[in-house]
């Protein structure tokens, strides 16, 4: 059985990819990257000042439908500042999924807050809004308009849904929970640029949202991220805080608060502008790749390809296999077989409540769905270039 399902998965991957090796996700540079980078170099404005930062922010706002976008050095710094702007302070608790990349928890810790882990749902791979509502009803009380964890006495200040592998979570359900318990929602949309919930882009539903442009994302600036908000004052403060809180002056260096050197360099923004121009084409290629995988894996017993949630359009950042319950003990053997052949596959991240830094944090008594998903998930080669030649 072990050899059979591993061989079947390898055969399905090779049927679609037509190659002997493939990375999990790599960038594709097929537009104006060289032209914009040269223009940036010729201008000598390669660091924190230059027109490409302004352009990238405007283009991101236009594409996502957010009123404002603030470019920063990476997605983690974007989430750190977004949480601060949401009012998260030392000693607060921040609700977030245990099934996420460590940056989500780290950003809360940077604020001096305590991550509070909740379970996921199979339908979206994101936070289970119904279980979260019941959990908060049982474990918290409202005092002076604040949601208080009865066990710790701490304020639960923010809720951070993460759109897992680019798939939009249950945004309506989570917004309702946040509203009813007076908790600020900040979206971790690091993986979901180009994903839509209904007719609205992810990252634009909460008080703030964040994006990542790391080298493995759908588009890249090398390293980079952005904060999205509909609030002008928050956008201004985000820009100020992420540029060392320096007050504008011709020659003086004066800073009116603790700031952060989270600026995106102009040369990175130049790359991002060229990449963003190609985003519709890149996403179409990734969706074609999904369709090819769907056909190839339809005949493979014991595994299914994860499909975008109903009512959403996913960017399919990472294509995801879910092993059946009967085959989840074969996960590591499959990972070994595929990677040995040069077909890069990966499991989900180690769950946050299992990491030494976070194992003592508050959490739901049962995180059974997240634990089950972690046992069953295998991500397969997903780069947009893999879908470019597919019909």
- Position 243 pLDDT exceeds 70: yes
Segment 230-240 mean pLDDT? 98
Handedness of CA 315, 353, 26, 383 (dihedral sign): negative
Closest to 140 (Cα-Cα) out of 160, 162, 121, 116: 116
Structure confidence at residue 3 (pLDDT):
55
| pLDDT at position 317 | 98
Start and end residues for every CATH 3.90.1150.10 domain found in the chain: 2-28+279-387
Is the domain defined by 33-277 classed in CATH 3.40.640.10?
yes
pLDDT at 59: 98
**259-285: average pLDDT:** 97
Q: Per-residue pLDDT averaged across 290-315, rounded?
A: 97
Average pLDDT over residues 182-191: 98
* pLDDT tier, 203 (very low <50, low <70, confident <90, very high otherwise): very high
> What pLDDT shows up at residue 108?
98
User: Average pLDDT, stretch 83-107?
Assistant: 98
**Which tens digits make up the pLDDT trace of 272-282?**
999 999 999 99
Quickly state the pLDDT bin for 19 (edges 50, 70, 90): confident
Collapsing DSSP to helix, strand or coil, 225 comes out as strand
Q: Where are the alpha helices (DSSP H) in 65-188?
A: 75-85, 102-110, 129-139, 171-180
Higher per-residue confidence, 50 vs 276 = 276
133-174 tens-digit pLDDT: 999 999 999 999 999 999 999 999 999 999 999 999 999 999
Measured between alpha carbons, how far is 4 from 6 in angstroms, rounded to an integer? 6
The residue to which tokens 């007050």 are assigned: 247
Segment 310-350, tens digit of pLDDT: 999 999 999 999 999 999 999 999 999 999 999 999 999 99
pLDDT at residue number 169: 98
Question: How many helices (H) and strands (E) in the chain?
Answer: 12, 16
What is the rounded average pLDDT of the residues 294-322? Answer: 97
Q: Is the pLDDT of residue 28 over 80?
A: yes
Q: Across all residues in the chain, what is the average pLDDT?
A: 96
pLDDT reading at 213 higher than 80: yes
Model confidence band, residue 2 (pLDDT cutoffs 50, 70, 90): very low
Percent of residues, the chain, with pLDDT higher than 90:
95
Pairing of β 200-201 and β 196-197: antiparallel
- Confidence band (pLDDT; 50, 70, 90) for 390? confident
Mean pLDDT of 347-372: 98
> Strands of 200-201's sheet, edge to edge?
200-201, 196-197, 312-313
CATH number belonging to domain 2-28+279-387: 3.90.1150.10
Question: What residue ranges of the chain are covered by domains with CATH 3.40.640.10?
Answer: 33-277
pLDDT at 1: 40
């Amino acid at each position: 059985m072990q050899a059979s399902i591993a061989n079947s998965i390898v055969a399905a991957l090779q049927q679609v990819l037509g190659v002997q090796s493939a990375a999990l996700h790599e960038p594709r540079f097929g537009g104006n990257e060289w032209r914009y980078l040269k223009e940036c170099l010729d201008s000598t404005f390669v660091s924190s000042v230059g027109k490409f930062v302004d352009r990238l922010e405007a283009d991101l706002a236009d594409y996502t439908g957010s009123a404002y976008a603030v470019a920063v050095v990476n997605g983690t710094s974007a989430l750190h500042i977004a949480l601060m702007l949401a009012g998260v302070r030392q000693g607060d608790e921040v609700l977030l999924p245990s099934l996420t990349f460590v940056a989500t928890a780290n950003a809360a810790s940077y604020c001096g807050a305590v991550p509070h882990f909740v379970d996921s749902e199979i339908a979206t791979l994101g936070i289970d809004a119904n279980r979260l509502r019941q959990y908060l009803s049982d474990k918290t009380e409202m005092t002076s308009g604040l949601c208080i964890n009865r066990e710790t006495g701490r304020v639960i200040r923010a809720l951070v849904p993460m759109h897992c592998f680019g798939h939009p979570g249950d945004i309506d359900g989570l917004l309702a929970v946040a509203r009813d318990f007076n908790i600020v929602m900040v979206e971790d949309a690091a993986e979901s640029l180009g994903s839509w919930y209904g007719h609205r882009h992810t990252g634009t539903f909460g008080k703030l949202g964040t994006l990542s442009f790391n080298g493995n994302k759908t588009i890249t600036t090398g390293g980079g991220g952005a904060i999205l908000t509909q609030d002008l004052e928050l956008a201004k403060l985000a820009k100020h805080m992420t540029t060392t809180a320096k007050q504008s002056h011709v020659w003086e260096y004066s800073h009116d608060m603790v700031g952060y050197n989270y600026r995106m360099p102009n040369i990175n923004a130049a790359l991002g502008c060229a990449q963003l121009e190609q985003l519709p084409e890149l996403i179409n290629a990734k969706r074609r790749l999904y369709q090819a995988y769907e056909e190839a894996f339809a005949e493979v017993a014991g595994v299914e390809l994860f499909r975008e949630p109903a009512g959403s359009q996913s960017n399919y950042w990472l294509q995801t296999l879910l092993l059946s319950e009967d085959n989840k003990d074969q996960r590591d053997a499959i990972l070994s077989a595929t990677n040995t052949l040069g077909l890069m596959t990966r499991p989900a991240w180690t769950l946050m409540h299992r990491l030494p830094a976070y194992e003592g944090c508050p959490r739901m008594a049962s995180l059974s769905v997240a634990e089950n998903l972690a046992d069953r998930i295998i991500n397969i080669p997903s780069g947009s270039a893999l879908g470019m030649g597919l019909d």
